[in-house]
Amino acid sequence: MPSLASVRADGEQHKGNRRPDLSRPGQPYRRTVHHPSPSIDPRAFTLIELLVVIALIAVLLAIFVPAMRLARERAQRIVCLSNLKQLTTAWIAYADQYNGRLVYGSSFAYRRRGHDGWRRGLQGWVGRAFNSRASAFEDPNRGALWPYVRDVDVYRCPRGYKNNLVTYVPVVAANNDTPHMAGTYVPNTADVEVAEVGVRVGRTVLKLTRLTDIVSPGPAARAVFLDIGHYPSSVDYCVHYFSPGWCLSSPPAPMRHGAGTTFSMADGHVEHWKWKGRETSRELQAAKIVITTSPAMQEYIPQTEDGLYDLQRLQKATWGRLGYAAEENPEP
């Protein structure tokens, strides 16, 4: 039963000891409602709802950002493979025009001393004009393949290092005269020495100078260009012939597209190689690269079958065969 004080004449009831405001007679009494926090809009997000939304956005980003990165990489890979195909088509067209002789494979070279003496007047497949974007348009020395590929962008991978106008190199066996000739040496000798690989073993021509050299294995299995992602150095790209180790004077197993890189073959087709060995994409990449006066002597010996597989795959694509005892069992 409510007390008399809490019952108004109009019958409305209020609670507790709150009393009507009697100081302003004639003003209707308004009940005061006390919310714990009077500013909250019932339509607003609660903290929990906000956190849930943020978490959802984070999850969606985690799903889509890698997918977008992958899509971007795939698109760049397609451009890269197209570049390699155009360069290799030009490489074949050059040979066709010059009685089967392969273009000089040393990058930026014009006249240099090769292992067989001075080669005057020979222009490298890509010329010194590619040293900078400005000179690419001004310097007439754009390389021996320029008449066949007159597009600066074809000479670089879209994933290449910034401001590097050339990211491809011919393999060392593709008529390339690196200073140590082959990036190869005879192991287990008292004085490790850089060695000449010789001309041929059986029907396999080791160092290619003519299209007709590419017989055993055939042109589909001999590499021409690969993507290293940056300007070729003075040693271009080397891989040993005599030794079961990666030559460390150049990026030993380029990692340009996923855990692998792109190649072109002498028949004009292109491939993406994903390195099979975890050590090829991890340990080898971390191997300390020391450039010495004899860079051919720096090497990394694979420790696993998969790692050896990667090395031998590249050695065979480069030289046509292996130059050491493991040739008897080349396939792990």
Residues within the interface to Zn ion (CB under 5 A): 80, 157, 227, 256
Q: How far is CA 313 from CA 256, 276, 322, in A?
A: 17, 10, 9
Give the number of other Cβ atoms within 10 Å of residue 141's Cβ: 17
Distances, alpha carbon 228 to alpha carbons 41, 251, 288, in Å: 60, 7, 18
Task: Compare residues 223 and 296 and give the one whose CB is closer to Zn ion.
Answer: 223
User: Measured from the CB of residue 104, what is the shortest distance to Zn ion in angstroms?
Assistant: 23
Shortest Cβ 87–Zn ion spacing (Å): 12
Closest separation in Å from C-beta 163 to Zn ion: 16
275 touches 267 (CB < 8 A):
no
Instruction: Tell me the C-alpha distance between 126 and 104, whole Å.
Output: 9
Minimum distance of Zn ion from residue 270's CB (angstroms):
10
CB of 256 to Zn ion, least distance (A): 5
Q: Which is nearer to Zn ion, 160 or 245 (CB)?
A: 160
Q: Which of 102, 260, 269, 259 has the alpha carbon at shortest distance from 172? A: 102
Nearer to Zn ion, 243 or 250 (CB): 250
Let me know: does 277 contact 266? Beta carbons within 8 Å: no
C-beta closer to Zn ion: residue 185 or 263: 263
Q: In the numeric block, which tokens belong to residue 291?
A: 């450039």
Which residue, 168 or 185, has its beta carbon nearer to Zn ion? 168
User: Per DSSP, what are the bridge partners of residue 226?
Assistant: 169, 263
In terms of CB distance, is 157 or 322 closer to Zn ion? 157
Decide if 117 contacts 106 (C-beta within 8 A). Answer: no
Residue 281, Ramachandran bin (φ over 0: left; ψ between -120 and 50: alpha; else beta) = alpha
Q: How far is the CB of 168 from Zn ion (least distance, A)?
A: 8
